[in-house]
Structure 1
Amino acid sequence: MISALNRLVDLVEAQLADPFGELDVEGLATELGTTGYHLRRMFSSLAGLPLTQYARRRRMTVAAADVVRGDDDLLSIAVRYGYGSTEAFGRAFRAVHGAGPGEVRRDGGPLRSQPQLRFRLTVEGNIPMDTRLTERPAFRLIGHAARVPLIHQGVNPHIQQHIAALPQEEHLRLKALSATEPAGLLQVSDDLDGPDAAEGSELTYLHGVAVPSDAPVPDDLDAIEVAAGRWAIFRTAGPYPEALQTAWAATATDWFPSNPWRLRPGPSIVAVLDRAADFSTATCELWLPVEPA
């Protein structure tokens, strides 16, 4: 996986010289015997930013040198980096550097450079991951759904508000509807804006339970259909949500590079098995949809 991610970085660098060329992630994934979905998800997890954002930052970092040098007019620079107008180039430039190309040319800055990434193997994995694999038939997730922004670290206040708005009796009602694994009340993340979506991108969050695929859906509940397939299940225990988020990150740094599995499209599911009264600590299971690598 490390070499695959470095090939992906090289692909971004090659596109800097050919901005109108396609960033062919799917072609590279096929060559490497994996999928574009898995490659993008692993890049995002390990780099801390999505591939598209990294590529844009690299392009604007290199473009900034041409802007400051001042040998060419701004339209020529815009076209060189794949933009059809100075306005479009200016918007992309400002989004990265915090100032337009005209201001930077005049003042010499501010500039926010994106160094070229290089992934390296480090010896980690000294803490065993409590994992199991299971094959599940198709099932259905039912509950109360909302579109919320993605937050990688800490408590997501939008999810908190969504759950807090439900009366206590509704939690009890949902729990009583649980009829298949994963059991109990579930925290479901689905329909993320792409496999390499940036923090702040929207996803569908569902607070609900799992039922068989042919179970009826009450009129007042939302539903997510889940395809049959294999799941990797990671058990975590400790401070909440920190222990869960650490385990989620470790699936990318430790588990997937060491095991013959890759992510497949589908929801991510968290089952809370036990928790403190104030939710400061919890024992959870993280369910991720996987397929053979």
Structure 2
Amino acid sequence: MDMLKGMNDALSYIEENLGEHIDLKEVAKIALCSEYHFKRLFSLLSGITITEYIRRRRLTLAALDLKDSHVKVIDVALKYGYQSPDAFTRVFQNYHGVTPSAARNTEQNLKAYPRMTFQLTITGGTEMKYRIVEKEAFKVAGIKYEVDMVNGLLTPDYEHMMSSISDEKMKELESSSTSEPRGVIHVTANYSESAEGKTAFDQYIGAAVTQAPSGNDSVLDVPALTWAVFEAEGAWEEVEDHWQRIYSEWLPSSSCELAQGPEILASKKSEIWIPIKEK
């Protein structure tokens, strides 16, 4: 519950400071967690990045400000962090579909992105089986894709990533596994958010190994971490649902937060590995 209150306190702080510079380190401090944890959790729970949320809220309020004929476009632009009318006009038109000047028309249709709040919803007692694992450093060796996510869509998409790996290569990766989690694993690492609200990360499809293999495989060094390991049986849609429940149900009720590190889907045992640390 403390986590839920912290997230909503952070959103209140953002709302009160949309016309000012917003330091996400300060926002995370109000949410009682690390900046990495706040950004990642917000993105997973809301479906958009925190920077994109702030941008949409500012453009919503900017449209309301422009309804006052005495307010200059340049003043609205500066208020919401744009250094020139041209930059503001471009972003405003991309979002609302019209220029700031046209938005003054009282009959003009505009977009509104409401303020967000987080609530705890009890949907039924479906148990989650997990264990806590203290694991020494290891490596992931395999195929690496640099992935961008825009409006919830991956580029390249997961189907493309998987289909581009031959059956022979998948067998090779599976046989090269020398460390837990065993078999072919899917690893999301180096998650980042741009100032424009876009997300990017490295996706590895490979195997956990103790020593980097010779050859052309990409290698990710994973430091010693504490992991929450969840059983995740079922089809891909069920795994995705289970993954979502980890962030929306298990984390808020635990004494842990996300640690900065990769997230792993192990296919051999159908497990989700999440790096955690004590708050």
**TM-score > 0.5, shorter chain as reference:** yes
Deviation readout 1:27-64 (Å, 9 max, x if unpaired)? 34345542111122222222222111111111111110
Match of 1:79 in 2: 78
Question: Shift in Å at residue 256 of structure 1?
Answer: 0.3
Deviation readout 1:193-248 (Å, 9 max, x if unpaired)? 239996x7332111100011xx1332210000001010111111222x21111111
> Does residue 1:203 correspond to 2:198, yes or no?
no
Match of 1:186 in 2: 185
* Residues 1:196 and 1:112: Cα distance change in structure 2 (over 3 Å): same
Match of 2:230 in 1: 234
Instruction: Indicate the SS of the match to 1:78.
Output: helix
Q: Residue 263 of structure 1 is aligned with which of 251, 258, 264?
A: 258
Matches within 5 A, 1:204-223: 204-212=202-210, 215-223=211-219
Match of 1:248 in 2: 243
Which structure 1 residue ranges, 5 or more long, are not aligned?
A: 275-283
Tell whether the 8 Å contact from 1:190 to 1:268 is kept in structure 2 after alignment: yes
Tell whether the 8 Å contact from 1:124 to 1:254 is kept in structure 2 after alignment: no
With 49-58 and 97-106 compared, the bigger mean Cα shift is at: 97-106
Q: CA RMSD in A?
A: 2.5
- Partners of 1:152 and 1:172 in 2: CA distance: 34
Tell whether the 8 Å contact from 1:175 to 1:184 is kept in structure 2 after alignment: yes
Question: Shift in Å at residue 154 of structure 1?
Answer: 9.5
> Does residue 1:291 correspond to 2:268, yes or no?
no
- Partners of 1:121 and 1:163 in 2: CA distance: 35
With 129-138 and 27-36 compared, the bigger mean Cα shift is at: 27-36
Which structure 2 residue ranges, 5 or more long, are not aligned?
A: none
Tell whether the 8 Å contact from 2:186 to 2:205 is kept in structure 1 after alignment: yes
Tell whether the 8 Å contact from 2:49 to 2:199 is kept in structure 1 after alignment: no
Match of 1:10 in 2: 12
Instruction: Indicate the SS of the match to 2:67.
Output: helix
With 126-135 and 79-88 compared, the bigger mean Cα shift is at: 79-88
Tell whether the 8 Å contact from 1:40 to 1:195 is kept in structure 2 after alignment: no
Match of 1:58 in 2: 57
Instruction: Indicate the SS of the match to 2:188.
Output: strand
- Partners of 1:3 and 1:75 in 2: CA distance: 36
Match of 1:128 in 2: 127
Match of 2:34 in 1: 35
- Partners of 2:242 and 2:100 in 1: CA distance: 41
The number of aligned residues is 277
Question: Shift in Å at residue 106 of structure 1?
Answer: 4.1
Instruction: Indicate the SS of the match to 1:8.
Output: helix
Deviation readout 1:85-117 (Å, 9 max, x if unpaired)? 111111221232232212322474331101111
TM-score (norm: length of structure 1)? 0.86
Question: Shift in Å at residue 153 of structure 1?
Answer: 7.6
Matches within 5 A, 1:144-183: 144-150=143-149, 158-183=157-182
Which 4+ residue blocks in structure 1 deviate beyond 6 angstroms? 151-157
Deviation readout 1:147-194 (Å, 9 max, x if unpaired)? 123389899862322222222211111111100001000111112223
Instruction: Indicate the SS of the match to 2:139.
Output: strand
Instruction: Indicate the SS of the match to 2:233.
Output: strand
* Residues 1:170 and 1:120: Cα distance change in structure 2 (over 3 Å): closer
Tell whether the 8 Å contact from 1:149 to 1:158 is kept in structure 2 after alignment: no
Instruction: Indicate the SS of the match to 2:110.
Output: coil
Tell whether the 8 Å contact from 2:147 to 2:154 is kept in structure 1 after alignment: no
- Partners of 2:56 and 2:277 in 1: CA distance: 32
Tell whether the 8 Å contact from 2:227 to 2:274 is kept in structure 1 after alignment: yes
Match of 1:280 in 2: none
* Residues 1:151 and 1:248: Cα distance change in structure 2 (over 3 Å): farther
* Residues 1:195 and 1:34: Cα distance change in structure 2 (over 3 Å): farther
Match of 1:278 in 2: none
